[in-house]
Amino acid sequence: MKGFQFAGIRAGIKKKDQKDLALIYSDSPAVAAALFTRNKVVAAPVILGREKIKKGLCRAVLVNSGNANCFTGERGIEDARACSGLVAKGLDIPEDQVLVSSTGVIGAYLPMEKFDAGIPELIQALSENHMDDFAEAILTTDTRRKMVTETGSIQGKAFSITGIAKGSGMIRPDMATMLAFVLTDAKIEKEDLTAILTAVNERTFNRITVDGDTSTNDTLLALANGKSGALIHDPESKAVFQTVLEKVCQQLSKMIVRDGEGATKLVQIIVKGAKTKEDAFKASEAIAHSNLVKTAIYGEDPNWGRITAAAGRSGARVVTEKMDLYFDDQPLVLKGQWLGPDVEKEIARLMKKEEIFITLDLNLGQETDGFWFCDFSENYVKINAEYRS
């Protein structure tokens, strides 16, 4: 990625011997756009980020894991500002061009002595080749790093978009990523980057769920440094850029769900034939969030009653006698009628796969929407019961 450097180190913020402090640095001021959590309880980095992003330029992003810096009051905000100040001083850049993000346990103050010692080491470690270290250092309960790079071309000039994300639990479609950073060497104005990022987010990160919880720290940040010379300015170039960005964000979204805490299966629910767009959203969201559906998926049980019941309570318009339900291309319910035990046994065999596709056709209109979600296992309970131990 042209013009960006990365670092990730162990600063001792986490109890375990793991990397926990990370940095992105742009060689020149990058156009910046961001979306943040819709939770009313927000972390100090989000409060600070909402303020700084208005200026639309960024040179560096500091990220720590192991501590959310949330519910820490004025001291938390002061600590976040102090962290950005340390980065700015070390890199000799304006402090208002340094953003910070945090993820981890809510309610604890940042161990500032770890940042005082770690940030100089972090700056020394910056390199174009250390993206893996950055991606590792931002993880919490994740079991794997999440990175994607895609390329495109505008008027013969190639550009690239790289996305790096973390997220495994506390994931639902209210800026669902926990933390995601999208970097591009294309040249684009802040207003256009914000508009495209918002549209892409709605179809990707806002269409996934792991456990139905909205984090206090969710941040989706995009930086564009223009180093490739590919100019995004007219409808055609914007469409090309948006297509590539959506490809990156869609892959990251699915990685998050696939790595859901305790998850064993990745599932897509599509609701089609809805009367309105709102109905398609409501029905698919209710199914994706249903613990009864998620536990049935884990048990490889084609419990179609749970799926149709979730749609029925969603607030969407449904008519029982018109509903069709498919697993892959195999129907299990047609016009509200169960197709019997032999068909259900075939569906149960399909459910042994790691990736499952479910379609509910309401047969009431032309609108479609959908979600990616995962199953719900006893390991989810274990991970979260021991999270602060």
Residues with active-site annotation: 177
- Report how far residue 259's alpha carbon sits from residue 20's, in angstroms, rounded to the nearest whole number: 19
37, 175, 221 from 206: Cα distances, Å: 11, 6, 15
Q: What are phi and psi of 228, to 5 degrees?
A: -80, -20
First-residue to last-residue Cα distance in the chain: 38
What are the angstrom distances between the C-alpha of 242 and each of 45, 214, 225? 27, 26, 16
Specify the DSSP class assigned to residue 362: -
Structure tokens at 230: 């590919």
Give dist(CA 30, CA 38) in Å, integer. Answer: 25
Tokens 């200026």 belong to 55
Lookup result for tokens 């161990």: 111
- Angle formed by the axes of helices 277-289 and 304-312, to 10°? 130
User: What residues does 65 pair with on adjacent strands?
Assistant: 103
